[in-house]
Amino acid sequence: MAALLIGSQAFSQEIEDKKGIVAKNAELVKVQDGFEFTEGPAVNRFGDIYFTDQPNNKIHKWNALSNEVSVFKEDAGRSNGMYFMLDGTLIACADNKNELWAIDTDGNHEVWITAFRSKKLNGPNDLWVKPRGGIYFTDPLYPRPYWEGRSEESEQEGQDVYFLSADKTELFKVADDLVKPNGIVGTPDGKHLYVADIGAKKTYKYDIREDGYLINKSLFCEMGSDGMTIDDRGNLYLTGDGVTVFNKKGEQIAHIPVPAKWTANVVFGALDRKTLFITAMDAVYTLQMKSRGVW
């Protein structure tokens, strides 16, 4: 691992911002580097961000007040995407054995999902927790060099999207016609779900039924994404080449360049949810915003 950056570093790259969602004179700030591949940022009720360094098998915590990064959990199951439940439980896509974990505030974990219909999942990648309970997660196939005792071929029929009911008694597919689903996020009212099909370079919007099933699939934009987030104006933030922002109509309204080959994920942090936190390759970044993230 490379040496960690001491202090923060600002970047004055030009940001395309048609609707004034970025704070005036804001610059992208590198908070810390020296990781191998950062992913999975999730915000808790205090605005702190937990994110993963998947190759190094760790979950780190960014303290919103001190701007400091510390290790939260070692042996993190090669966690990828993560999301906080309202009770403070951190749900993680544990890619080492293709499981879904629940992690408490002390870093202790419980395995919630190990398979679907007795067959190993491809590798849960990203997830979103429905406001009234229940978890949506994507399951693309990305063969990993650290997998032991399993084939690189899928045991499932496809690369799909799943829903785990709030009481954890039901697990079922809700989308099975995508090439490689990856990023996923829903609206705060729990009525709509966005799923990025990174394999098809498209992002779709669904209506969410009360029972968790998805209906009325529609094309949102002609762009895929790794991780995604949403703000209080309903704008959707997609990743890959920096961060690209679309309004509710699927029109591009902003692009935030990031000095990295790949931007993996993004979320709003800090107590006021106006700090955009970005995971990109070996580093994590922040950008001050006018728009606000949603809980």
Name the least confident of 5-14, 15-24, 156-165, 242-251: 5-14
User: Helix (H, G, I), strand (E, B), or coil: what is residue 56?
Assistant: helix
Q: Is residue 14 part of a domain?
A: no
Give the domain extent around 253. 37-265
Q: Is residue 172 part of a domain?
A: yes
User: Helix (H, G, I), strand (E, B), or coil: what is residue 253?
Assistant: strand
Q: Is residue 246 part of a domain?
A: yes
Task: Name residue, tokens 């009481």.
Answer: 167
Contacts of 72 (CB under 8 A, 6+ apart): 50, 58, 59, 60, 61, 107
In this prediction, residue 154 has a pLDDT band, given cuts at 50, 70 and 90, of confident
Q: Is residue 13 part of a domain?
A: no
- One DSSP character per residue, 173-208 reads EEE---SSEEEEEE-TTSSEEEEEETTTTEEEEEEE
CATH code, domain with 215: 2.120.10.30
Q: Is residue 19 part of a domain?
A: no
Residue 2 has pLDDT above 80, yes or no: no
Q: Is residue 30 part of a domain?
A: no
Per-residue pLDDT of 61-105, as tens digits, reads 999 999 999 999 999 999 999 999 999 999 999 999 999 999 999
Beta bridge partners of 85: none
**Cα(105)–Cα(278) distance, integer angstroms:** 23
| Half-sphere exposure in the Cβ direction for 240 (13 Å, CA) | 16
| pTM of the predicted structure, to 2 decimals | 0.94
Q: Is residue 2 part of a domain?
A: no
First to last CA, the chain: 34
Count the domains in the chain: 1
